[in-house]
Amino acid sequence: MKRPVLTYLFFFCLVLITAACKDDSLPASSVEKEGGSNVYVSIVVNTEDSQNSRVSTPTPGEDGDDPQIGVNEENVVHDLNVFFFHTTDGEGLNTTDQSVNVVSIYFNQLTGSTTKYTTETKEIEGLEIGSFYNVLVIANLGESLKNITTLENLRQYIVSTPIVQTNYFVMASSETGTPVRIQATSKNNPTVVSANVERLAARVDCHWDTEYSVKNDTVVITQAMLVNKYTGGTYAFKRVTNSTTDSIIDYLGAEKVEGNLAANYVIDPKTLKVPQTDIAANYQPYFPTYNNWSATDSWKSLSKTVTSAHNDVTYSLLDYTTENVVKAENSEKTCATYCTGIVFKAKYKPAVISTTDSTFYRYNGTCYASLTDIKNVIGDQSISDNNLSQFGITKYQDGICYYTYWIKHAEDGDDTTVSPMEYAIVRNNIYQINVTGINDIGTVTPTDYGLYLECTVADWISVDEITIDFSDNYDGEIKGISVVQNQDAVLVAYSQDNEVRDAQFSFTMNTPVGIGWTAHLTNPDDFEFIGDYHGVGGQGPVTLRIHPRKTFEEGVTRETDMYITIDTDNSSLDFNVSSGDTNKFPGDEDIIHIQQVSTIEYDNLLNNSQN
């Protein structure tokens, strides 16, 4: 069955910093040195941005979305810890050899610009001339790691603060790289080593319009903030595993895909812990217990100086965060507990209300300027701001409401389960979030209540686009309230005696929740809806009434098709299907065919069906 595709584009890019490569087999100096002595090394780091852009949909896998260029401050290398080791099995960081030692060197004097750096030349003890060594790098740590002398200690090393400060990021090797052969060198002719590094953090960029329309009302997003930002530390070197019960770790491994689903995990230090304890201590701010939503210092406005672009949309920096990978055992309902999300603060302005401070009340789906207006409707003068919940009344102080979205890294097309890497923040990515529409009023305190977003996950420098594709997510039904039909069409008649001869249906869209839907007629010149013809997913049934505009004319055929779309896709829903106690109406799966007949024919068919 054809299903609508709902695309949430969410965009977050991490920058990949590439060290400039030079020949790792430089000619030896004119004076040969004895093995193990007088080995000089220099590192050249090239942070010039790659221009090889590639873009696609958040799909699982190693490649992200459109690569995005980091600003100069994001690319700065302040210092380097460089580690040399060699293995007998050629497996690099994944060796099973338990006796591998590490030779480390710390560079805190680098020269150059924001695009290219050169370290000082240093003599290293412990390297053998003529031997091949793998090289790993950790940048911007601000301290020497000379106490790390074994490979096992190095690959278990956790960086406690991957984001040192704004625009100052710890970076680490993204691959072991080709082993380097150490040559006999001099201080003026050192062996030059290169490495590819990536940030341990991620970036969230956002775009929202000046205002949005909800029916006749207006919504203005003012600020936003990230919630459940993981603060428990990050492994210096990326690691993946096939499942959260698998003890085999692939260090510096790639994200894999099988059947369009993510097939392995990127692991952060808490992913494999069962059970997780003291969850709130790992996140800041922690969504389930955070209560300072009105504080002005917690919210962020968009930076206009740090931007990225995708599909002709310009995104602006909101915030930085660190890796946070949720296990598949957690259901969609646990997003607020474990997942990193974004809360939008907005001002809702009802069209028919004008108040001094923008405060209003909402009762039974209608907005009121004051409690007095509601008291007159309900007929109860005991209502006050202290007992609103007893009457199902909500107060929107200053018109403020909130919308929440949980950031996805790879979509699985199933809203009832969480697949590997579906909800995740992964290093060296930029998540771009575009608020393309708002379909209803928000909540007075943040809850798991969605907007329609577009989200793209892109490498901070070059990688393929990830598109988050919410497919096969429509669930709903249509029932006949008052329907007269034959084999070919649902019938309607033009009434001149105040008798109702409309086609009346009850339509319910259960999912996608919070997304608007609209019913359409292919022949609006001859037919019209009486009353509502649109609604919001998850908010109950809407009665659809279709009525002919003109009186019946013998010999004139007037027909129309009714179809339904959601606000995020122009394709018609497959809503006209048989399920449970409902039968398919005349037409195809995505349309109901309707025809005008005379009142006599209509009444005869109605009476026959009743008899």
* pLDDT tens for each residue of 333-348: 678 888 899 999 999 9
Q: Please, what sign has the CA dihedral across residues 21, 26, 29, 30?
A: negative
Domain with CATH 2.60.40.10 in the chain: 475-610
Class of domain 475-610: mainly beta
The low-confidence residues of the chain, meaning pLDDT below 70, are 1-37, 44-72, 112-116, 244-246, 274-277, 328-333, 415-417, 449-450, 452-456, 458-473, 513-515, 567-569, 580-582, 611
Largest CA distance in the chain: 112
Residue 138 to residue 269: CA distance in whole angstroms? 18
Q: Which distant-in-sequence residues (6+ apart) come within 8 Å of 492 by Cβ?
A: 484, 501, 502, 503, 527, 546, 547, 548, 594, 595, 596, 597, 602
State CA 338 to chain mean position distance. 14
Tens of pLDDT, residues 439-448? 889 999 998 7
Question: Are 569 and 6 within 8 A, CB to CB?
Answer: yes
pLDDT at 562: 95
22 φ/ψ angles, rounded to the nearest 5 degrees: -125, 170
Contact 250, 265 (CB under 8 A): no
pLDDT tens-digit series, residues 254-295: 888 887 777 888 988 887 775 566 788 889 999 999 999 988
Q: How far apart are CA 214 and CA 589, in angstroms?
A: 29
Residue 187: CB atoms within 10 A of its CB come to: 12
Closest CA to 438 of 253, 278, 210: 210
Inter-residue contact 469 to 59 (CB < 8 Å): yes
CATH number of 17-47+72-199: 2.60.40
Q: Please report the pLDDT score of residue 552 as a whole number.
A: 94
Residue type, 132: F
Asked whether the beta carbons of 235 and 268 are under 8 A apart, the reply is yes
For the beta carbon of residue 259, count every other beta carbon within 10 angstroms. Answer: 6
- Rounded Cα distance between 361 and 381, Å, is 15
Which strands form 265-266's sheet, in the order they lie side by side? 250-251, 239-241, 265-266
Cα–Cα distance, 260 to 254 (Å, whole number): 15
